[in-house]
């Protein structure tokens, strides 16, 4: 970010980051803000019991209290930032969804810099012991619980045409990994189907595997999608990774 801001002084360079929030203490946060990183997505998977059951340190100890305390310290500042608190909803979290939204309301609901996103866990082909059925009622129950607390739902973009299309299906969106490899998805980092090209450091050129690229950006609609009454919202591209893996798409 320092190099970008120094080289492109004539434009406003800013960034965003996704973090588990564990090391995002006030000192580190201020340094990041000074670098122009003002948007954050931080995952907190429910109350302490649920969160610490899957998001623990290497020695098995808790992370929840540290993350919450970091966010509360940030809240006390007058810095300009936006934090999206994301929760990956499993069966256990769903069983306590009202308690969780009440906690969010009590601790962050009075600060417009905090927003919320709840994402039911998906089956992407590996472990599925935490999966919650993503039937229609699940989404309504989650959103109704947030709404009861008066929390901001960030629904405007989601309910607009193409609002739920995954960034990975956008032909103009690319992820550059540390070794110069070009990817589409920021989740399937170790998947060979996600390696669609490479930046060549010798001549600063790049090479694409257009066959792999097309799997992310150009595929036929699932039959269930063709029957969907809200098809334009995601146009069958909610998760191109699911399509590539031959898994069932997530329907709302």
Q: What is the mean pLDDT of each run of 10 residues along the chain (252 residues)?
A: 86 90 97 95 96 95 98 96 93 91 97 90 60 59 89 71 86 89 90 91 79 89 81 84 73 44
Contact 104, 149 (CB under 8 A): yes
Give the per-residue pLDDT at 4: 84
| Alpha-carbon span 39 to 70, nearest angstrom | 16
| Alpha-carbon span 23 to 81, nearest angstrom | 17
Kindly give, in sequence order, each residue whose CB lies less than 8 Å from that of residue 188, ignoring residues fewer than 6 positions away: 124, 194, 241
Kindly give, in sequence order, each residue whose CB lies less than 8 Å from that of residue 147, ignoring residues fewer than 6 positions away: 153
How are beta strands 181-183 and 195-200 bridged, if at all? antiparallel
Q: Global pTM?
A: 0.76
Q: Indicate if the alpha-carbon torsion angle 179, 182, 186, 187 is positive or negative.
A: negative
Question: 207 burial class (0-12, 13-18, 19+ CB within 10 angstroms)?
Answer: exposed
């Amino acid at each position: 970010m320092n190099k970008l801001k120094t080289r492109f002084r004539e434009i406003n360079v800013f960034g965003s980051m996704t973090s588990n929030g564990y090391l995002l203490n006030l000192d580190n946060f201020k340094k990041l803000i000074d670098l122009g990183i003002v948007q954050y997505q931080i995952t907190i998977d429910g109350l302490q019991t649920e969160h610490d059951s899957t998001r623990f340190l290497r020695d098995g100890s808790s992370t929840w209290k540290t993350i919450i305390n970091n966010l509360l310290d940030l809240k006390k500042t007058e810095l300009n930032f936006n934090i999206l608190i994301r929760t990956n909803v499993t069966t256990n979290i769903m069983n306590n969804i009202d308690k969780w939204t009440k906690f969010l309301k009590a601790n962050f609901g009075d600060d417009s810099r905090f927003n919320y996103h709840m994402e039911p866990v998906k089956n992407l082909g590996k472990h599925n012991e935490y999966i919650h059925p993503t039937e229609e009622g699940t989404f309504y129950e989650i959103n109704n619980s947030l709404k009861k607390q008066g929390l901001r739902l960030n629904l405007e973009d989601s309910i607009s045409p193409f609002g739920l299309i995954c960034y990975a299906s956008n032909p103009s969106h690319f992820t550059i990994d540390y070794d110069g490899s070009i990817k589409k998805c920021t989740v399937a980092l170790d998947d060979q189907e996600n390696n669609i090209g490479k930046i060549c450091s010798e001549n600063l050129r790049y090479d694409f595997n257009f066959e792999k690229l097309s799997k992310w950006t150009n595929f036929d609609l699932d039959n269930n999608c063709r029957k969907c009454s809200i098809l334009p919202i995601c146009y069958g591209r909610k998760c191109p990774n699911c399509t590539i893996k031959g898994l069932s798409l997530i329907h709302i």
